[in-house]
């Protein structure tokens, strides 16, 4: 071939385009992949026909080729030959055949299962193949060793389930005119299809002049692009929101009609915190028109009272709105300013601007349906909600939206499902169902059905004690350290990792996690690239990458719906398998293939179309599962998806806006109290010793301004440490990919930890100085740089500086893992939601030099520049 | 004949560098080499502070200093305004690298290719198919994706930009989006004092 006549640009070379879907983060941007006539993948672009990502891709999506061709990929099944295990210690892998490897895994897991299935700690975190998460159920264990939903949104997801009966939530970018972003990167740097979210956000900001107010300790991308950055002391986001609520309520800037008609705000609450009910269980309200109590659905009600104190059924009671108003009495802007450091005038002004922008009383007609228009929304995510009192914190943000009537309205704050196949599956998560007394049924469990209470606990992370939370994976460290205290009558000895890196992403002391890993008899890891966790494995089972496998998914899309196809752009480069094949083979060796197929039917929703049901005795590969998912979504076979690439359409307004029409939403969450009391009783009955230490305060039907315990650490820890990620390192391991490294380590916010300029000066720290950052729980080492874009009490640690020892030579290491600074104990875990505190109190000590172990060529600090 | 140019909307750019990585994909650039990248700069004093993200690229100047100083005529301007380097003529003297006021040219050192993207002295199939375009020792820079443009497509950085902060079009067409944006927002050229008349404009 005469190369001189060939195009030099990759996308222009002779070849073909294949429709597919990205998996460089958990979301599912639709792509097209270019393969040369010689079979080399040489360009990936966004799929122009997909209305979600609009043909666009983030830097991670653009870097997928280098994951595919990464020479450190696991190329064959591997067996450890070095008995010594530890961080950075070479396992001395030895290749072996698939049959040998699977036989070993089958034998070891069978032993575990025969002895006690609870001894297996599975960590299965592939969000694009969510059905794999259910495999432990076939094995007989709910002992998920996972931090995945926990670190991101332990309180966030259950609260979305309470308020919207949905997994996630987003401001409605179609109509929003005033967008408050609190501690979340939505539309700028992370979360919920970041490419499409950034696209929509930019259009709304520039083409519709939407105002953006960003509230957070560090000037993030969002803060930089916003109309206003409001720096806030870490872990005080709830108090900021309550300050807004105070202004909205006491200045009467709320949506009275919405609260009276569409929520339980008028329902009367008795002294025990429960609604006041008659003998039949029906709830009372107070009719201000007739001056008497009536049942909530009495057709003669003239005016639902929101305020006041009444006597009903011999009890003193108040509308739940009044209960909130009582709490807010102590949440004045001045009081909340002291906690948050946000000036009281700013809190007051933003509340008023927000209420004004909400256009309370306005309507819009969309597809023939008249809907309330509330073009203002309070959006929030990881940083804002990741605190001890997470359920209360999440609820406080929701209540800002409740007060202006913006829940699930055009322009407001709207619930978003996880994968749009939730109807009829996973116990009905994501469905809108009618609950009792006119209210929508709450659905706090959005990932898997509730894990039943047990004592001794069947789960080392105590999920059975978090009836409305997300698996608190970090607690495993705490319970295994104190087995008697928790009544643990077994000790896990086996681990199964599948696209999961808990050693990197769990909070708590690394050395204790290492001890746990050392104590395990057998670890198997299904993965693509070496990382902090799979270097501990005894057997590696190498998986296909995203360019070699089949799948169909649409994961956590706010504004769109419809399945996206992943198909092999090329034959597998190495001797790898799909996750489906791997779990089939393991299941067969364990004698649980039939159970696994039945569970797959359930979690994939196949019973909705019985012709799609898997035969229990047959092994189904990734292509066959993908085809069934496509047929379930729109009746189209795989050829249709291969041709079109996706079935993405804008989300239907009837699904997006007020899907609960006619039901009342939970302004006041009585279910939280019911869960508390149910748990209390179960703990009493089972005589669970730790019930006396359990953090019973955490279960509140309405948020209070109580300070999170992180603020009560000893005074010597005078700074707050937070971590952050930007779009290049959003959701998962990107560091190590040469193109990501090339852009990340040129960006000054990712090459040093950031300190406010004045604070650095006051502490005698100059740019480039090396410090030890020490919390009551652990320490890391870092290079500091000063920045004007940082709250004065805050140290900001990029997620790019959090990688630790691994066999992946391209990964640049930080000076320790940020999560080391965080506690993994009950005191700092929300007993209501399972969310651990993600802010640490720290002190800084200047070191004369960077310790040698952090200055090897793999160090992130050996490259790049300061801020 | 069109005169191609680009507009950067600074209000939209979020500094994500998807452009930079898309460009690396499209052009098989070795580590450390960029045909485009986004710079960031903090502006202001706490709490009245922001950060600006500034995409940069070869400006395909109408009066290109790189072309003026090239001793062999390797750097040339196409009729449509795209400034390119003929690598058969380039002797790698580096005069243009110094002359470019925008720091947009890089001399391709042989070891940049030899090290490989994974820095292990081996080349992936992706690099092997892509590196055939390169002559070690010559000067490289953004080509405005001239082959895509010739085929009627936008440059790779433009099609991937999540926020549509990069707009490509014909500066000679009064009805083109780039012309309208430049007119409506008083688009500014980078370093106008250099008298290079860049075909790249910034709006904010």
Residue range A89-126, pLDDT digits in tens = 999 999 999 999 999 999 999 999 999 999 999 999 88
Nearest chain A residue (CA) to B127: A42
Computed on alpha carbons and rounded to an integer, the radius of gyration of chain A in Å comes to 27
Cβ–Cβ contact A219 with B under 8 A: yes
**Contact at CB, A12 and B151, closer than 8 angstroms:** yes
Assess whether A586 and A676 both reside in one domain.
no
**Contact at CB, A69 and B129, closer than 8 angstroms:** no
Enter the tokens of residue A532. 């902090």
Q: Number of structural domains, chain A? A: 4
Cβ–Cβ contact A111 with B under 8 A: no
The pLDDT score that the predictor gives to residue A808 is: 84
Report yes or no on A615 lying in a domain.
Answer: no
Nearest chain A residue (CA) to B51: A224
Distance from the A757 Cα atom to the nearest Cα atom in chain B, whole angstroms:
8
Assess whether A312 and A284 both reside in one domain.
yes
CATH of the domain at A537: 3.40.50.740
Assess whether A168 and A280 both reside in one domain.
yes
**Contact at CB, B130 and A42, closer than 8 angstroms:** yes
Distance from the A291 Cα atom to the nearest Cα atom in chain B, whole angstroms:
51
Residues A335-352: tens digit of each pLDDT: 999 999 999 999 999 999
Assess whether A857 and A731 both reside in one domain.
yes
Say which of B31, B132, B160 has its CB closest to residue A57.
B160
The pLDDT score that the predictor gives to residue A2 is: 45
Nearest chain B residue (CA) to A2: B132
Chain A, window 13-32: residues with a beta carbon less than 8 angstroms from a chain B beta carbon: 13
Share of chain A above pLDDT 70, in %: 97
Assess whether A162 and A280 both reside in one domain.
yes
Cβ–Cβ contact A598 with B under 8 A: no
Chain A, window 223-282: residues with a beta carbon less than 8 angstroms from a chain B beta carbon: 223-225, 229, 231
CATH of the domain at B15: 3.30.70.20
Name which of A60-64, A331-335, A863-867 the model is least confident about.
A863-867
The Cα–Cα gap between A373 and A523 comes to 54
Say which of A12, A62, A740 has its CB closest to residue B25.
A62
Assess whether A178 and A277 both reside in one domain.
yes
The Cα–Cα gap between A730 and A185 comes to 10
Whether A38 has a pLDDT exceeding 50, the answer reads: yes
CB atoms under 10 Å from CB of A269, counted, come to 26
Q: What is the DSSP string of A732-744?
A: S--TTSHHHHHHH
Assess whether A106 and A210 both reside in one domain.
no
Chain A, window 724-763: residues with a beta carbon less than 8 angstroms from a chain B beta carbon: 726-728, 738-743, 746-749, 756-758
A77 and A99 Cβ atoms separated by less than 8 Å: no
Report yes or no on A469 lying in a domain.
Answer: yes
Residues A342-381: tens digit of each pLDDT: 999 999 999 999 999 999 999 999 999 999 999 999 999 9
- The owner of tokens 């997006």 is A656
Task: Tell me which residue of A851, A853, B187 sits closest to B198, measured CA to CA.
Answer: B187
Which chain A positions have a beta carbon within 8 Å of B143's beta carbon? 9
**Contact at CB, A229 and B119, closer than 8 angstroms:** no
The pLDDT score that the predictor gives to residue A865 is: 57
What are the angstrom distances between the C-alpha of A360 and each of A26, A608, A611?
A: 37, 41, 49
Mean of pLDDT values over A264-269: 98
A99 and A581 Cβ atoms separated by less than 8 Å: no
Say which of B20, B47, B133 has its CB closest to residue A8.
B133
Cβ–Cβ contact B113 with A under 8 A: no
Assess whether A342 and A205 both reside in one domain.
yes
Assess whether A677 and A715 both reside in one domain.
no
Report yes or no on A618 lying in a domain.
Answer: no
Task: Tell me which residue of A845, A835, A797 sits closest to A817, measured CA to CA.
Answer: A797
Phi and psi angles of residue B52, each rounded to the nearest 5 degrees, phi first: -105, 140
The pLDDT score that the predictor gives to residue A642 is: 97
Whether A660 has a pLDDT exceeding 50, the answer reads: yes
Q: What is the DSSP string of B41-79?
A: EEEEETTEEEEEEEEEE----TT-HHHHH-SSS-EEE-T
User: Residue A422's pLDDT band (boundaries 50, 70, 90)?
Assistant: low
Cβ–Cβ contact A653 with B under 8 A: no
Assess whether A678 and A720 both reside in one domain.
no
Which chain A positions have a beta carbon within 8 Å of B12's beta carbon? 202, 205-206
Last residue of a domain, one of A29, A50, A68: A68
Cβ–Cβ contact B40 with A under 8 A: yes
Distance from the A647 Cα atom to the nearest Cα atom in chain B, whole angstroms:
21
CATH of the domain at A26: 2.20.25.90
**Contact at CB, B17 and A11, closer than 8 angstroms:** no
**Contact at CB, A65 and B126, closer than 8 angstroms:** yes
Question: DSSP alpha helices (H): ranges in A457-532?
Answer: 475-481, 483-486, 502-505, 510-519
User: Residue A424's pLDDT band (boundaries 50, 70, 90)?
Assistant: low
The pLDDT score that the predictor gives to residue A863 is: 62
A106 and A589 Cβ atoms separated by less than 8 Å: yes
What is the domain extent for residue A30?
3-68
**Contact at CB, A202 and B159, closer than 8 angstroms:** no
Nearest chain B residue (CA) to A48: B159
Mean of pLDDT values over A559-567: 93
Report yes or no on A611 lying in a domain.
Answer: no
Assess whether A721 and A588 both reside in one domain.
no
Report yes or no on A719 lying in a domain.
Answer: yes
Report yes or no on A621 lying in a domain.
Answer: no
**Contact at CB, A65 and B25, closer than 8 angstroms:** yes
N residues, chain B: 204
Mean of pLDDT values over B188-198: 96
Cβ–Cβ contact A40 with B under 8 A: yes
Q: What share of chain A is helix, strand, coil (3-state, %, to 5)?
A: 35, 20, 45
pTM over 0.90: yes
A175 and A860 Cβ atoms separated by less than 8 Å: no
Q: What are the DSSP E strand ranges found in chain B?
A: 4-9, 36-45, 48-57, 75-77, 83-85, 106-107, 139-140, 166-170, 200-203
Report yes or no on A73 lying in a domain.
Answer: no
User: Residue A423's pLDDT band (boundaries 50, 70, 90)?
Assistant: low
CB atoms under 10 Å from CB of B47, counted, come to 18
Nearest chain B residue (CA) to A59: B18
A722 and A345 Cβ atoms separated by less than 8 Å: no
**Contact at CB, B125 and A199, closer than 8 angstroms:** no
Nearest chain A residue (CA) to B158: A56
Which chain A positions have a beta carbon within 8 Å of B133's beta carbon? 8
A423 and A733 Cβ atoms separated by less than 8 Å: no
Distance from the A63 Cα atom to the nearest Cα atom in chain B, whole angstroms:
7
**Contact at CB, B20 and A66, closer than 8 angstroms:** no
Cβ–Cβ contact B112 with A under 8 A: no
What is the domain extent for residue B90?
4-203
Residue A696, Cα to own-chain centre: how many angstroms? 24
Share of chain A above pLDDT 90, in %: 82
Report yes or no on A224 lying in a domain.
Answer: yes
Mean of pLDDT values over A211-240: 98
**Contact at CB, B164 and A221, closer than 8 angstroms:** no
Cβ–Cβ contact A866 with B under 8 A: no
Chain B, window 68-87: residues with a beta carbon less than 8 angstroms from a chain A beta carbon: none
Q: Number of structural domains, chain B? A: 1
Assess whether A335 and A471 both reside in one domain.
no
User: Residue B5's pLDDT band (boundaries 50, 70, 90)?
Assistant: very high
Nearest chain A residue (CA) to B43: A788
CATH of the domain at A289: 3.40.228.10
How high does pLDDT run on average in chain A? 93
> In sequence order, which residues have a C-beta less than 8 Å from that of residue A674 and are 6 or more positions away?
A274
Say which of A11, A42, A219 has its CB closest to residue B49.
A219
């Amino acid at each position: 071939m005469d190369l001189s006549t060939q195009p030099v640009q990759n996308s222009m070379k002779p070849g073909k385009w294949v429709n597919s879907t990205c998996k460089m983060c958990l979301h599912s941007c639709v792509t097209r992949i270019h393969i040369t006539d010689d079979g080399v993948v040489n360009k990936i672009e966004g799929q122009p026909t997909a209305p979600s990502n609009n043909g666009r891709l983030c830097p991670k999506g653009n870097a997928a080729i280098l994951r595919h061709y990464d020479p450190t990929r696991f190329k064959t099944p591997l067996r450890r030959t070095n008995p010594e295990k530890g961080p950075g210690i070479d396992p001395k892998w030895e290749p072996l055949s698939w049959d040998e490897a699977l036989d070993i895994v089958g034998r070891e897991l069978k032993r575990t299962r025969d002895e006690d299935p609870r001894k297996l700690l599975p960590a299965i975190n592939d969000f694009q193949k969510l059905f794999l998460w259910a495999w432990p159920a076939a094995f007989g264990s709910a002992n998920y060793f996972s931090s995945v939903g926990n670190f991101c949104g332990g309180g966030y997801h259950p609260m979305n389930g309470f308020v919207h009966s949905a997994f996630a939530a987003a401001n409605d970018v179609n109509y929003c005119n005033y967008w408050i972003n609190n501690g979340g990167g939505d539309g700028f740097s992370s979360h919920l299809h970041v490419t499409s979210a950034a696209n929509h956000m930019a259009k709304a900001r520039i083409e519709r002049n939407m105002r953006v107010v960003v509230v957070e300790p560090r000037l993030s991308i969002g803060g930089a692009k916003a109309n206003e950055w409001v720096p806030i002391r870490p872990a005080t986001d709830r108090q900021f929101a309550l300050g807004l609520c105070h202004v909205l309520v006491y200045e009467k800037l709320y949506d009275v009609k919405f609260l009276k008609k569409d929520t339980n705000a008028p329902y009367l609450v008795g002294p025990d915190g429960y609604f006041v009910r008659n003998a039949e269980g029906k709830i009372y309200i107070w009719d201000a028109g007739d001056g008497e109590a009536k049942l909530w659905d009495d057709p003669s009600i003239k005016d639902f009272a929101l305020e006041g104190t009444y006597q009903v059924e011999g009890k003193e009671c108040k509308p739940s709105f009044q209960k909130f108003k009582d709490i807010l009495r102590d949440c004045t802007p001045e009081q909340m300013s002291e906690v948050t450091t946000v000036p009281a005038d700013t809190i007051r002004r933003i509340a008023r601007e927000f209420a004004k922008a909400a256009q309370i009383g306005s309507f819009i007609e969309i597809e023939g349906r008249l809907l309330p228009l509330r073009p203002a929304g309070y959006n929030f995510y990881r940083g804002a909600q990741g605190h001890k009192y997470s359920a209360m914190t999440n609820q406080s943000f929701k209540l800002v939206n409740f007060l202006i009537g913006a829940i699930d309205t055009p322009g407001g704050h709207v619930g978003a499902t996880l994968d749009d196949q939730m109807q009829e599956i996973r116990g009905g998560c994501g469905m809108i169902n009618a609950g009792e007394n006119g209210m929508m049924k709450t659905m706090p469990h959005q990932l898997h059905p509730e894990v039943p209470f047990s004592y001794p606990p069947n789960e080392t992370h105590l999920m059975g004690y978090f009836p409305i939370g997300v698996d608190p994976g970090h607690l495993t460290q705490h319970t295994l350290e104190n087995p008697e205290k928790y009544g643990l009558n077994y000790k896990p000895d086996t681990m199964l990792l599948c696209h999961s890196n808990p050693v990197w992403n769990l909070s708590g002391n690394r050395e204790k996690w290492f001890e746990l890993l050392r104590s395990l008899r057998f670890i198997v890891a299904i993965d693509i690239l070496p990382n902090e966790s799979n270097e501990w494995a005894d057997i590696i089972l190498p998986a296909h990458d995203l360019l070699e496998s089949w799948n169909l998914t649409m994961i956590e899309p706010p504004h769109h719906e419809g399945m996206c196809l992943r198909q092999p752009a090329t034959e597998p480069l190495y001797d790898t398998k799909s996750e489906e094949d791997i779990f089939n083979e393991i299941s067969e060796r364990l004698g649980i293939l039939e159970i696994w197929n039945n569970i797959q039917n359930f979690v994939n929703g196949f019973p909705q179309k019985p012709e799609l049901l898997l035969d229990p005795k047959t092994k189904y590969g990734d292509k066959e599962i993908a085809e069934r998912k496509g047929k379930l979504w729109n009746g189209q076979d795989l050829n249709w998806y291969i041709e079109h690439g996706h079935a993405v359409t804008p989300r239907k307004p009837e699904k997006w806006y007020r899907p609960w029409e006619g039901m009342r939403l939970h302004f006041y969450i009585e279910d939280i109290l019911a869960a508390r009391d149910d748990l209390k009783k179960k703990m009493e009955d089972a005589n669970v010793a730790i019930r006396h230490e359990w953090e019973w305060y955490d279960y509140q039907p309405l948020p209070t301004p109580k300070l999170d315990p992180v603020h009560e650490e000893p005074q010597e820890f005078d700074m707050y440490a937070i971590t952050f990620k930007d779009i290049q390192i959003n959701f998962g391991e990107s560091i190590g990919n040469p193109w990501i490294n090339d852009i990340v380590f040129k960006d000054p916010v990712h090459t040093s930890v950031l300190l406010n300029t004045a604070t650095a000066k006051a502490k005698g720290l100059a740019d480039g100085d090396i410090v030890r950052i020490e919390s009551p729980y652990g320490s890391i080492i870092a290079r500091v740089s000063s920045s004007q874009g940082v709250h004065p009490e805050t140290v900001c640690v990029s997620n790019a500086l959090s990688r630790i020892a691994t066999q992946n030579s391209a990964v640049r290491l930080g000076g320790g893992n940020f999560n080391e600074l965080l506690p993994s104990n009950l005191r700092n875990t929300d007993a209501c939601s399972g969310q651990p505190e993600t802010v640490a109190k720290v002190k800084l000590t200047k070191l004369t030099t960077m310790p040698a172990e952090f200055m090897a060529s793999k160090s992130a600090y050996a490259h790049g520049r300061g801020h | 004949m069109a005169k191609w140019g680009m507009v950067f909307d600074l209000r939209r750019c979020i500094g994500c560098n998807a452009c930079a990585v898309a460009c690396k994909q499209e052009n098989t650039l070795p580590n450390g080499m960029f045909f485009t990248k986004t710079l960031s700069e903090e502006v202001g004093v706490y709490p009245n502070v922001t950060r600006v993200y500034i995409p940069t690229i070869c400006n395909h100047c109408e009066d290109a200093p790189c072309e003026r100083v090239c001793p062999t005529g390797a750097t040339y301007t196409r009729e449509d305004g795209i400034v390119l380097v003929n690598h058969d003529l380039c002797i790698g003297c580096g005069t243009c690298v110094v002359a470019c006021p925008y720091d947009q040219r890089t001399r391709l050192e042989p070891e940049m290719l030899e090290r490989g993207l994974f820095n292990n002295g081996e080349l992936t199939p992706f690099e092997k198919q892509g590196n055939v375009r390169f002559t070690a020792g010559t000067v490289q820079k953004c080509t405005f994706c001239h082959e895509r443009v010739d085929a009627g497509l936008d440059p790779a950085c433009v099609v991937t930009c999540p926020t549509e902060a990069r707009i490509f079009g014909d500066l000679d067409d009064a009805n083109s989006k780039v012309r309208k944006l430049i007119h409506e927002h008083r688009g500014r050229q980078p370093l106008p004092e250099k008298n290079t008349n860049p075909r790249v404009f910034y709006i904010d």
